[in-house]
Structure 1
Amino acid sequence: MRAFYCDHFVLPLPPGHRFPMQKYGLLRDRVAAELPQVRLEEAQPASDGELALAHHPRYVSAVAQGWLTSQEQREIGFPWSPAMAERARRSVGATIAAARAALDDGVGANLAGGTHHAYADRGGGFCVFNDVAVAARLMQAEWHRRHRALLRVLVLDLDVHQGNGTAAIFADDPTVYTVSLHGQRNFPFRKERSDLDVELADGCTDEPYLDALDEALRAVWRHHENRPPGLVFYLAGADPHEGDRLGRLKVSAAGLAERDRRVFASMRERGVPVVVTMAGGYGHDIHQTVAIQLETLRIAQAVAVHPRSPAHPHVETAT
């Protein structure tokens, strides 16, 4: 399995900032030490043209050139700097590379990514650009150019926060099916409408969480019975964990590992390649967050679909 990183492009944050930027480097160190079968590769930056597949050109230019207003920076949660802009590009580039790897190998990973609060025209919630939206549209374009066929995409968002930016970007796009399993009372407080939203009560524990996931997966496959997806973007947030500062749920580390096994087994059974992004994780103990994310990657490389599966990938002839 190939996994892409950009943690050496560090976003400078003021003292006391609550975003755990150091978790990305810690995760890469543990992958290198404990998962030798995972090939680590540095991510290249997404271009303006690639970003414009999901974002307004004005917003892309504002991020690149430092034209973001004070209000826009507050909504994102990060102060602008050249390093902020470069890291945002690299994070998208990592998901693009992971998506190409998934289509070739059956699975690919971004050791960051899952920036699902970014809209077409603005960022929010620690998200500058929407890496999954950009990569999904680029994969569809590349697939159509090579094969003259439609690549349907499934976005399975299991971060504890609703993927509002992703839902808004794909609201009128029937080729991308968005699913969000999230805390009902958590950020964002004004939700968008995904194709399938599953809201969870505060304090949700392993059993009801996994039951909700199973029902969501059954609904996904009922919807895709005749036109299955050819690529899945899986946002494997660590923030449903009981030790997360922002999550408000009570899912154990074992419960999250079981979540990952069920997701990857479901995709493997149907021969669908998977792009894994780490999404959120804000544990009181950062090493606990990193351990959860490491286990996601361990399960991904063990369970993901084989690239020579006869069902891989699912496409439709373009008309």
Structure 2
Amino acid sequence: MLKIAFDPIYAHPLPPRHRFPMLKYELIPEQLLHEGTITKDNLFSPDPFDEETILLTHARDYWEQLRDLTLPPKEQRRTGFPLSARLVEREIRIAKGTIDGCHYAFENGIAFNVAGGTHHAGSNWGEGFCLLNDQAIAANYLLKHGLAKSVLIVDLDVHQGNGTAEIFQNEDRVFTFSMHGANNFPYRKEKSDLDVPLKDATVGEEYLGVLYNVLPELIRQQKPDFIFYLSGVDVLESDKLGRLKLTKEDCKARDLFVLEQCKLNNIPVQVSMGGGYSPDIRDIVEAHCNTYRLANDLYF
């Protein structure tokens, strides 16, 4: 069964300018339930978890400032969110949803988190609506508990996974691959193990051609026993922050290829949704829902 981490706190209430990007966290499961792609049995709600697991990835002083709500105003502005206990709980639950998803992926081949993809959070900073790096936390959890020896993070959000790159810069067991807009946020990039920067207005044919060449070779070279996939839909032409020119069909082809490569090589994969900022929320929800539909058809 396809297992999907979802909790109402994912759509955490925020000031008006922050609310629109959060709507998708409610609408994605609602749409999948409405059309019959999933039932309520597919959804699970993650609990908070221990700070020792967080400290495998994030610096103690940074985590304690989040926990105690003492993060300096300048650092709060960098995250894009006003800090609150509810927001910190949200980030913890998202990370736990990704960890839980790893266990379901070992059982079923794949698992999803409706939220997650918080790849701008570094070891000692939050940035770009990211406070705790869910996939980095989960990767370190797998390594710590001997559940994986080699991890590949496939980050196809339109923005570079700078936090993930920084966290694993000295960790040979985790290979970070980020394919992103060259001129997009973050404007100060970190160094992933493999960065593929794309020029503005890159179209689907070119984008997919690069991915088709790179990913199978990466899997062959790295031989990962677990893959994390960040499937941001801010690569769409309609996205107001994206600068690329992919259609929803291009995005669907991208997701299908990644998932096929995981299944072909018998590598469990955890999928976090990442960004999406098209002005019409229906474009965001439909593009994200396609990823679930593909997974359901391919694996189940």
**What TM-score do you get using the length of structure 2 for normalisation?**
0.95
Match of 1:56 among 55, 59, 67: 59
**Residue segments in structure 1 that go unaligned for 5+ positions in a row:** 145-149, 307-319
Q: Describe how 1:275-290 pairs up with structure 2 within 5 A.
A: 275-290=270-285
**Residue segments in structure 2 that go unaligned for 5+ positions in a row:** none
The residue type paired with residue 51 of structure 2 is D
- State the Cα distance separating 1:6 from its structure 2 match: 2.3
In the aligned structure 2, how far is the partner of 1:50 from the partner of 1:28? 28
- Partner residue of 1:270? 265
- State the Cα distance separating 1:222 from its structure 2 match: 4.1
- State the Cα distance separating 1:230 from its structure 2 match: 0.7
Match of 2:38 among 36, 39, 42: 36
In the aligned structure 2, how far is the partner of 1:268 from the partner of 1:15? 41
Determine if contact 1:32/1:40 at 8 Å carries over to the other structure: no
Match of 1:131 among 128, 131, 134: 134
Determine if contact 2:157/2:180 at 8 Å carries over to the other structure: yes
SS at match of 2:8: coil
In the aligned structure 2, how far is the partner of 1:266 from the partner of 1:105? 15
Identity of aligned residues (%): 40
In the aligned structure 2, how far is the partner of 1:97 from the partner of 1:27? 19
- Partner residue of 1:24? 25
- State the Cα distance separating 1:19 from its structure 2 match: 5.6
**What TM-score do you get using the length of structure 1 for normalisation?**
0.89
Structure 1 segments, 4+ long, off by >3 Å, are 7-10
The residue type paired with residue 87 of structure 1 is R
The residue type paired with residue 251 of structure 1 is L
In the aligned structure 1, how far is the partner of 2:297 from the partner of 2:268? 13
Determine if contact 1:8/1:25 at 8 Å carries over to the other structure: no
Q: Per-residue displacement from partner, 1:12-41 (whole Å, max 9, x unpaired)?
A: 322233761111011121122231267001
The residue type paired with residue 14 of structure 2 is L
SS at match of 1:50: helix
The residue type paired with residue 158 of structure 1 is L
In the aligned structure 2, how far is the partner of 1:71 from the partner of 1:281? 25
Match of 1:118 among 117, 121, 124: 121
In the aligned structure 1, how far is the partner of 2:170 from the partner of 2:184? 25
SS at match of 1:16: helix
Determine if contact 1:116/1:127 at 8 Å carries over to the other structure: yes
Match of 1:207 among 183, 205, 227: 205
1:13 aligns with 2:14: yes
1:296 aligns with 2:280: no
- State the Cα distance separating 1:269 from its structure 2 match: 1.1
What number of residue pairs does the alignment pair up? 297
Q: Describe how 1:153-302 pairs up with structure 2 within 5 A.
A: 153-224=151-222, 228-302=223-297
